Amino acid sequence: MRKSPLRLPTLTGFVLLSLIVHAGCAHKPSSSPDVAPTPIASIGIVYAKFLPEVVLDLPAKGKVDGVVRGAGRGFLNWAEVPLRVGAEMLRGCSTKECGYVAIGFLALSAATGTVGAVVGGIHGSIRAIPGKEAGRMGNAIRYLADLKIQETMWHWVHDATMDLTAYRILPLPESGPDTSDNVADYSGFASAGVDSVIEVSVLSVGFKGERWGRNPPLSVILQIRVRRYRTMDGTIAIQEEREFLYRSEERSFSEWMADGAARTDWEFQKGYSMLAGEIADWI
């Protein structure tokens, strides 16, 4: 993993201002006049700035290796119509709808071999395909970015930690890793009085299935990685790392994509909520 310098514009002033604002809102334990109150630890919450991996995870069949590689001719036959429909659905839909449709479109494209592993959107390898189809892939990637999955998950975690913990929570939206393998440098926060940093990264989104067949049942999946950085000797270093996974009940792909992917949207909101609660409990 590589380290990169953290973007910290007006870092000290921002954090100190946050500390002042939150001081009046923090829950302080009762104490007698003769006993100094226990200081409340401050936690900064940041989120990843890279796009999550989009996957269609189905069990391997025959000589095919399964995830995001393609799944044999039978699956290609099943995917041809949804793939074309998915491309058409990207036209004229609202930004939010397009984002969810893009997840399904990219997942199908990856599984059928139209696109290589779609990692971080711009890092996916687009193979030799017609220019029109390549353009649709590019649109799907942009729609996925518009969905702001990383930022949305960060908001949910921030709100959950505010509600479920006694820590002083500091939102730090300008900070976070640019790639999934980046170990960010948060040392600047130590001198500003931040006790620890919680880094929230959505690693992958998409669909997972256990059975084969025409229009097979699939679950929506959200995979989250959370890293805890703590202050040690005036610096902040990574101390703990844990992954959290949400997996929904199964529905057919056509059901997930119906009505502008409305069911997918609802399931994502449910996943965000459940994972945020689990992360807050872990914190």
In three-state secondary structure terms, 19 is helix
Q: In the prediction, which pLDDT does 68 show?
A: 36
- Within a domain: residue 19? no
Q: What is the pLDDT of residue 23?
A: 45
H or E segment at 96?
helix 95-111
pLDDT at 134: 62
Query: Looking at 119, 146, 173, which one is the last position of a domain?
Result: 146
Q: What is the pTM of this model?
A: 0.74
Q: What is the DSSP string of 221-253?
A: EEEEEEEEEEEETTEEEEEEEEEEEEE---EEH
pLDDT at 66: 36
4 belongs to a structural domain: no
- The residue from 114, 146, 178 where one domain ends is 146
The reported pLDDT for the residue numbered 70 is: 36
33 assigned to some structural domain? no
pLDDT value for 63: 31
Give the domain extent around 262.
40-50+148-282
Which secondary-structure segment (H or E) carries 276?
Answer: helix 253-282
The angle, 0 to 180 degrees and rounded to 10, between the axes of the packed helices 253-282 and 95-111 is 100
* Nearby residues of 138 by Cβ (< 8 Å), 6 or more positions away: none
Residue 257 CB-half CA count within 13 A: 27
The reply to whether 249 falls in a domain is yes
Residues 85 and 134 in one domain: yes
User: How many distinct structural domains can be found in the chain?
Assistant: 2
Q: Are residues 142 and 274 in the same domain?
A: no
What is the average pLDDT value for the chain, to the nearest integer?
74
Give the model confidence (pLDDT) of 190-207 as tens digits: 888 888 999 999 999 999
If asked whether residues 122 and 213 sit together in one domain, one would say no
Q: What is the pLDDT of residues 56-83, one digit of tens each?
A: 877 655 333 333 333 333 444 445 555 6
Both 44 and 110 in one domain: the answer is: no
Please check whether residues 91 and 171 belong to one and the same domain.
no
Q: Is residue 2 part of a domain?
A: no
Q: Please indicate, yes or no, if residue 234 is contained in any of the structural domains.
A: yes
The 3-state secondary structure of 136-167, one letter per residue = HHHHHHHHHHHCCHHHHHHHHHHHHHHHHCCC
Q: Give yes or no: residues 44 and 175 share one domain.
A: yes
Q: Are residues 181 and 222 in the same domain?
A: yes
Residues of the chain with pLDDT under 70: 1-39, 59-89, 110-136, 212-215, 233-235
> Based on the domain organization, do 157 and 94 belong to the same domain?
no
Does residue 26 belong to any structural domain of this protein? no
DSSP H or E segment with residue 206? strand 196-208
Q: Report CA-CA distances (Å) from 169 to 26, 42, 236, 240, 244.
A: 9, 6, 17, 18, 21
- Both 188 and 232 in one domain: the answer is yes
User: What pLDDT is stored for residue 167 in this prediction?
Assistant: 86
What is the domain-level CATH number for residue 206?
A: 3.40.50.10610
**Are 238 and 193 in a shared domain?**
yes
> Do 176 and 234 sit in the same domain of this protein?
yes
Query: Of 94, 120, 146, which marks where a domain is finished?
Result: 146
d(CA 77, CA 189): 54
**Phi and psi, residue 47, nearest 5°:** -140, 160
Beta bridge partners of 158: none
CA atoms within 13 A on the CB side of 203: 14
In a domain, 179, yes or no: yes
Output the pLDDT for position 164.
84
Give burial (CB, 10 Å; 0-12/13-18/19+) of 154: buried
Structure tokens at 109: 């494209």
Give CA separation, 178 vs 70, 150, 260, in Å: 28, 11, 30
Residues 152 and 271 in one domain: yes
